[in-house]
Amino acid sequence: MALTALGSVLSAEEGGEAVDPSKAGFVPPNSLEFAYPDIFGGDGWLTKPVLQIVLAVVVVFLFFFLSSRKRAMVPGKFQFAGEGVYGFIRNGVGRDVIGHGFEKFVPYLVTLFAFIYVNNVMGIFPGLNFPTMSRIGFPIVLALLTWGIYNYVGIRKFGVYGYFKNMMFPPGVPKPVYILLAPIEFVSTFLVRPVTLALRLFANMFAGHLLLLVFMLGGAYMLANESLLLNVLSPFAFVTAIALTFFEALIQLLQAYIFTLLTALYIAGAMAEEH
């Protein structure tokens, strides 16, 4: 079927005739590229993204488990790598952002960072070539986890009444204006934050994957096409695809870091005494 970009490219390679004659030519990649069937066929839930999530769990666990087993005072390379990742998040994100009492959040922050990063990297990893966080269900769960944690921490410290009072009534505002500002504060802290957390990660991975698809499948289509002009121009598409792959690698690391950093900032904000 020429419904997906891949379909149109494959049918071009078969001789330039689209299976559906009314849809000849290259079909640009769209959201159908993100819909995977159950591995046993049909509508089930055991899809490639689900398998990739499980794979990410295994990879993250094995990385930290194996790199911490020897506990040598002079670390070998693998232990050094594991300690490097752990220390980067523990110090740069946990200690510097949360400050006092940060230790109990370090396991969540380190795991969050590593898990998101491994899932993102699957977008450029040969063979997998799909960033699992581009399926919005997964970022939603992580955002809900973070949201649950920073609200729970704030409520446990200040009590329900105290926490919402801190949130909704900033200092330095004349009393009658409080009632006008309270809904905005509530919506901003309680609703906008988890939504933007999930949406930011999802949109970055979704858009990155689409970009790579456009240039790779477009280049393949140009190469397989009858027109000599397109054949000759196709390397430009492939070169761009390679450059975008490197760019995606940077974005993937950055988005994992930003998600983790914002989690720490929201936790710190929930525990802040400044009001």
Partner 1 sequence: MSQDADGEAGEGKREQARAESDAWNITGYLLGGPIAWGAIGWLLDRWLGTEVFLPVGLVMGLGLGLYIVWVRYGRS
Residues 243-262 that bind partner 1 (CB under 8 A): 261-262
Placement of tokens 């969540």 in the chain = 108
Which of 181, 207, 239, 254 forms a contact with partner 1 (CB under 8 A)? 181
Shortest Å, Cβ 14 to partner 1: 49
Contacts of 250 (CB under 8 A, 6+ apart): none
Nearest CB to partner 1, comparing residues 46 and 69: 69
Q: Which of 53, 60, 97, 271 binds partner 1 (CB under 8 A)?
A: 97
- Tell me how far apart the terminal alpha carbons of the chain are, to the nearest angstrom: 60
Q: Which CB sits closer to partner 1, 12 or 153? A: 153
Residue 169 CB, shortest distance to partner 1, in Å, is: 11
The CA radius of gyration of the chain, in Å to the nearest whole number, is 24
What is the C-alpha separation between 259 and 251, in angstroms, rounded?
A: 12
Please choose, from the candidates 205, 211, 200, the residue with its C-alpha nearest in 3D space to the C-alpha of residue 252.
Answer: 205
Q: How far is the CB of 140 from partner 1 (least distance, A)?
A: 18
Residue in the structure block whose two tokens are 């990660």: 201
Site for partner 1 in 4-23 (CB under 8 A): none
Alpha helices by DSSP H, listed for 89-227, are 106-121, 137-168, 175-186, 193-224
Contact predicate 117/64, CB 8 Å: no
Half-sphere exposure of residue 135: CA atoms within 13 angstroms, side-chain side: 21
Query: Is the CB of 24 or the CB of 92 nearer to partner 1?
Result: 92
**How many residues sit in the footprint of partner 1 (CB under 8 A)?**
36
Q: Which stretch binds partner 1 (CB under 8 A): 3-11, 23-31, 150-158, 171-179?
A: 171-179
Specify the residue, 30 or 188, whose C-beta has the smaller distance to partner 1: 188
Q: Does 191 bind partner 1 (CB under 8 A)?
A: yes
Answer for which of 95, 157, 210, 245 binds partner 1 (CB under 8 A) is: 95
Range in contact with partner 1 (rule: CB under 8 A) among 9-17, 93-101, 138-146, 225-233: 93-101
The full DSSP string for 196-240 is: HHHHHHHHHHHHHHHHHHHHHHHHHHHHHSS-HHHHHHHHHHHHH
Residues within the interface to partner 1 (CB under 8 A): 73, 75, 80, 83-84, 87, 90-92, 95-97, 99, 170, 172-173, 177, 180-181, 183-189, 191-193, 196, 261-262, 264-265, 268-269
